[in-house]
C-alpha cells in the first residue's frame, strides 16, 4: 500500500509540472508572431532617428514612445514566461540575454536577435541541414553587422573625437570588424561604442569558427565518401 501511495503521489506531483511546461509552449506558440512583429517594428523605430539625424522632434518622440512600448512588450513576455516556468532559477539561467536586454538600456539593439528565428522559419523545408545552417549563419552575420553599425553610429555621433560620423563609415567599420580584418581606419572612441565593438568582435569570432567547423565537417564527409 505504501508503495502504491508513493507512486500515486509521484504521479500527482508531476501533473502540474507537465501542465506548466505545456502552458509555456502553448504561450510561446500563440505569442511568438507578436514578438516577431515587435522586433521588426523596433528595427524601424531604432534605425530611423539614427539614419535621419534631422528628423523632426515630433517624429523622434514617436520613435522613442514606440521603442519603450516594445520594451514593455518584451518585459511583459519575460515576466509571463517566468511565471509559467516550473523551475524559475533554471529559466533565468537559460534566458540571461532576454533579461539583460530588458534591464540594460545599452543592450536594446539585442532585441533584434528575435529576428533570427523568423529568418530560420523562412528557409525552405527541403533544404539540407548544412544548407539551413549556412543560411542561418549568413543571415545572423548580416543582422549582426546591421545592428552593430546602427549602434556604433548612435554612440559615436555626439563625440567630438569620433571618426565614425556617417552610416557608411559605421557599416564599413562593422564589416571589417566582424570579418576579423580590422583595417583600423575607423574605430569607436566612446565607451559605449567600444562595448559595441567588443560584442561585434566576439560575434565575428563565433561566426568564423562556425563557418570553419562547417567546412571541416564537409571536407571530412567528402573524404569518407571517396574512401574505398
State the DSSP string of 27-53: HHHHHHHHHHHHHHHHHHHHHHHHH-T
Does the domain at 123-228 match CATH 3.90.550.10? Answer given as no
What is the per-residue pLDDT for 152? 92
Q: Is 72 left (phi over 0), alpha (psi -120 to 50) or beta?
A: alpha
Q: Where are the domains of the chain?
A: 11-111, 123-228
Over residues 127-155, the pLDDT tens digits come to: 555 666 667 777 778 888 888 899 899 98
pLDDT tens profile 153-212: 998 988 889 999 999 999 999 999 988 787 888 999 999 899 889 988 888 888 777 777
Q: What is the pLDDT of residues 78-119, one digit of tens each?
A: 888 888 887 888 888 888 877 877 777 666 666 666 665 555
Nearest residue to 108 via CA among 56, 162, 161, 69? 69
- Interior CA angle at 98 toward 77 and 173, to 5°? 130
Contact 91, 82 (CB under 8 A): yes
Kindly compute the dihedral angle of the four CA atoms of residues 194, 69, 74, 177, in this order, to the nearest 10 degrees: -20
Q: Are 186 and 164 in contact (CB under 8 A)?
A: yes
Under a CB-based contact definition with an 8 Å cutoff, are residues 40 and 116 in contact?
no
How is residue 166 annotated by DSSP? S
Task: Give pLDDT tens digits for 1-46.
Answer: 444 444 444 444 343 543 444 566 777 778 878 888 888 888 888 8
Is the backbone of residue 111 left (phi > 0), alpha (psi -120 to 50) or beta? alpha
- Please tell me the predicted confidence (pLDDT) of residue 224: 74
Amino acid at each position: 500500500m505504501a508503495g502504491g501511495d508513493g507512486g500515486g503521489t509521484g504521479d500527482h506531483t508531476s501533473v502540474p509540472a507537465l501542465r506548466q511546461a505545456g502552458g509555456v509552449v502553448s504561450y510561446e506558440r500563440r505569442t511568438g508572431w507578436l514578438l516577431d512583429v515587435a522586433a521588426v517594428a523596433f528595427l524601424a523605430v531604432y534605425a530611423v532617428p539614427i539614419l535621419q539625424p534631422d528628423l523632426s522632434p515630433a517624429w523622434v518622440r514617436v520613435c522613442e514612445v514606440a521603442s519603450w512600448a516594445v520594451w514593455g512588450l518584451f518585459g511583459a513576455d519575460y515576466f509571463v514566461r517566468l511565471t509559467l516556468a516550473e523551475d524559475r532559477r533554471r529559466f533565468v539561467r537559460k534566458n540571461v540575454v532576454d533579461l539583460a536586454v530588458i534591464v540594460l538600456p545599452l543592450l536594446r539593439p539585442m532585441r533584434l536577435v528575435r529576428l533570427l528565428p523568423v529568418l530560420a522559419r523562412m528557409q525552405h523545408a527541403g533544404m539540407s541541414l548544412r544548407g539551413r545552417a549556412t543560411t542561418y549563419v549568413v543571415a545572423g552575420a548580416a543582422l549582426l553587422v546591421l545592428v552593430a553599425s546602427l549602434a556604433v553610429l548612435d554612440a559615436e555621433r555626439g563625440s567630438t573625437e569620433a571618426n565614425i560620423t556617417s552610416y557608411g563609415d559605421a557599416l564599413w567599420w562593422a564589416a571589417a570588424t566582424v570579418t576579423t580584418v580590422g583595417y583600423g581606419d575607423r574605430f569607436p572612441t566612446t565607451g559605449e561604442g567600444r562595448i559595441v565593438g567588443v560584442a561585434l568582435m566576439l560575434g565575428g569570432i563565433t561566426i568564423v569558427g562556425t563557418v570553419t567547423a562547417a567546412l571541416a565537417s564537409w571536407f571530412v564527409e567528402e573524404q569518407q565518401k571517396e574512401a574505398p
